[in-house]
Structure 1
């Protein structure tokens, strides 16, 4: 009996040694959620400088407007801001409509959901409930923002991508190295990023099927390491000095985003960026769904989140 033939659903691993060529990004229209600060803001600036028309979506209206005005003035670019709560479908739908209505091409080519929350360690969540009382429901805010918001964003991206399927489309999902190494304690954040990874696994195969109606869609995932952003900044001294984790800069992730967007040979890949590292995680059958490459990163000391000085992936104070 012959074994069934293997149908690949990814392109070969990403080659980070080649030079970046961003000319293909000029004139593209992009929507980024959570883009008034942090990784989203850094990516928005880079895309605008590369010639994209970028819609910045953020819950923080004042901060978003100020960021767009500052970026337009400093870099002589045109951007759009749309205030939205990613956990509210009507709110996010309005932001997508604003992105399409405001850009010169009246289309959408690139969507990246950056909006996210760090959550809290399980010890902090349990400490809120007296041991003698019935437990209250845990907060679902982190899961709502980190996964429900991403699911809504993906749904809307696929819908509006289908309005101009003849042009190249890019959906980049943002997970985390923590979705691969599974540290103890951070249940809400890790679970939400694992869910994003599961969405990616399903979508990268679905996007190659004719019934989706998007023959030019590329779907990839980026799993950042520990990066200095407003979301993590307050904990960085403890994570870096006490735990010994490697802390990268937003540019470490932005460079990975630009490579994935500009290289049309990259599809269905999961890549990671952090301090002194940009690597394809080989999150597929051949790569043992990321475990092989994560082991290499751990052994080389290049995995941003661990192992720590005080214990393997110990992130609990």
Structure 2
């Protein structure tokens, strides 16, 4: 491992850490030496991740959090700082996708997607900024190729991920004269719980879905987690306002 990715003595908060990319990210950070605050709505999965991270020799603080609830999100940031006395990286990985015909999408489903994918990350960032300014730390937001490519039946998801990308860029400019860094990672489709649990609406046109499905197959979760680690650590010192796209060519043309 590059010395620049060494996070010994540092603390990181990872959302969505019970499974998939969130879990892989937490374990990458732990392997790099970072003590962790990990949060998810899935308590059982969270404890499994925590146990695996502790085996790597780091401390782990866990908290069950619904990213749609601002108070819970802010509490997770505050409690992670209380546990370690610092915060060096915030990795917003938690996400949700609900596939639906736009004219049939219930308001509560639209709101749920926006809350978890956009509002929750913003509230976490808002609470974390004072601590990250002290530590010269970093925010890494996991957006998606859906931020760049319109995806049929995924209007809420596309809107939330495009919003998260633009939030990343806006904050990068707002804090350009400070030491904090804001960056994003935009993966293509991965084999995660989000993909496994996704259901299609009635009458779906699969030809439209093929338009944003990678010709080279799914992206490896470990590759995306490695990119998050890079941006969260000293190895990402040259990145600010950037978005690393890992999609096996989906957005190339």
Q: Same fold (TM over 0.5)?
A: yes
Residue deviations 1:120-146 (CA, integer Å, cap 9, x gap): 2226x62x7xxxxxxx64522111111
**Partners of 2:138 and 2:57 in 1: how far apart?**
25
Trace 1:153-172 onto structure 2 (pairs within 5 A): 153-162=124-133, 164=134, 167-172=135-140
CA deviations 1:211-255 (Å, max 9, x no partner) are xxxx2111111111111111112559xx9xx94632012112012
Higher relative contact order (CA 8 A, sep 6+): 2
Structure 1: unaligned runs, 5 residues or longer: 1-18, 129-135, 210-214, 278-292, 299-317
Do structure 1's residue 199 and structure 2's residue 167 form an aligned pair?
Answer: yes
- Tell me, in whole angstroms, the C-alpha distance in 1 between the residues paired with 2:225 and 2:60: 18
Shift of 1:99: 0.5
Tell me the CA shift for residue 62 of structure 1.
2.5
Quote the offset at 1:265 in angstroms.
Answer: 1.5
TM-score, normalisation: structure 1? 0.69
Q: Which residue of 1 aligns with 2:241?
A: 268
Match for residue 44 of structure 1?
A: 26
SS at match of 1:25: coil
**Given that residues 109 and 169 in structure 1 are in contact (C-alpha distance below 8 angstroms), is that contact kept between their aligned partners in structure 2?**
yes
Once residues 70 and 197 of structure 2 are traced to their aligned partners in structure 1, the CA distance between those partners, rounded to angstroms, is: 31
The separation in 2 between residues aligned to 1:229 and 1:46, in whole angstroms, is 17
**Equivalent in the alignment of 1:112:** 91
Number of equivalences: 239
Q: Which among 67, 73, 78 is matched to residue 86 of structure 1?
A: 67
Q: Distance in 2 between matches of 1:142 and 1:252?
A: 25
> Which residue number corresponds to residue 219 of structure 2?
248
1:182 aligns with 2:153: no
Equivalent position of 1:97 in the other structure: 78
> SS of the counterpart of 1:231?
helix
Match of 2:203 in 1: none
Match of 2:39 in 1: 57
Who wins on radius of gyration, i.e. which is larger? 1
**CA–CA distance in 1 between the matches of 2:91 and 2:37?**
11
Which one is further off, 138-147 or 38-47? 138-147
Task: Report the Cα distance in structure 2 between the residues aligned to 1:168 and 1:137, rounded to whole angstroms.
Answer: 39
SS of residue paired to 2:189: coil
Determine if contact 1:58/1:64 at 8 Å carries over to the other structure. yes
Q: Which has the higher helix share?
A: 2
DSSP-derived class of the 1:223 partner: strand
For 1:174 and 1:160, the matched residues in 2 are separated by 20
Please report the TM-score for the alignment, with normalisation by the length of structure 2: 0.85
* Paired residues of 1:26 and 1:51 also in contact (CA < 8 A): yes
- Residue 20 of structure 1 and its aligned partner are, at CA, apart by 4.3
Q: Distance in 2 between matches of 1:92 and 1:48?
A: 21
Alpha-carbon distance in 1 for matches of 2:108, 2:136 = 41
Mapping for residues 138-149 of structure 1, pairs under 5 Å: 139=109, 140-149=111-120
Matched, 1:217 2:198: no
Measured in 1, the distance between the counterparts of 2:180 and 2:68 equals: 25
